[in-house]
Amino acid sequence: MGGQEKIEGEIAFFVGATVNPSADPLEAHVIRLAKKVKAGADFIQTPCVYDMDRFQEWMKRVRDQGIDRKAPLLIGVMPLKSGQMGRDIRKKFPGALIPEGLIERLDRAGNPEEEGIKLCIEQIAILKAT
């Protein structure tokens, strides 16, 4: 595939929308998300989510609006390799909510990378249950 091949037939495109479940004010961002879906978004994607309490609060509002029944949600997850990585993300991306307790857990871990994977697995379980 050197870019010279002809594409035959119909091509399906999907229009996506982004939303940050950590952004304030929460209610205003849920309303904006509903407008994006009404405008034709086929799916919704978030940046990486680390604050599960905040996510659950956001998701309740999304469900109350029925948004989750109109467009699938792709929730971002990524293991943190260390507490320092969490601090760096918070510094570089001010909207990223990474709870201090999560960073402290990684700092205390004998193997922070392994602990980060465990945390990510726990977070995925919470996301799936929400």
8-14: long-range contacts, CB 8 A cutoff, minimum separation 24: 14/42, 14/43
Nearest to 72 by CA among 14, 5, 122, 10: 14
Report pLDDT digits (tens) over 10-38.
888 999 999 999 999 999 999 999 999 99
DSSP assignment string, 86-106: HHHHHHH-TT----HHHHHHH
Please compute the mean of the pLDDT values over residues 87-104 and round it to a whole number. 94
Condensed to tens digits (0 to 9), the pLDDT of residues 40-83 reads 999 999 999 999 999 999 999 999 999 999 999 999 999 999 99
Q: Tokens at residue 39, please? A: 């405008």
Rounded mean pLDDT of 108-120?
98
pTM for the model: 0.85
CATH code of the region 16-129: 3.20.20.220
Give the residue extent of every domain in the chain: 16-129
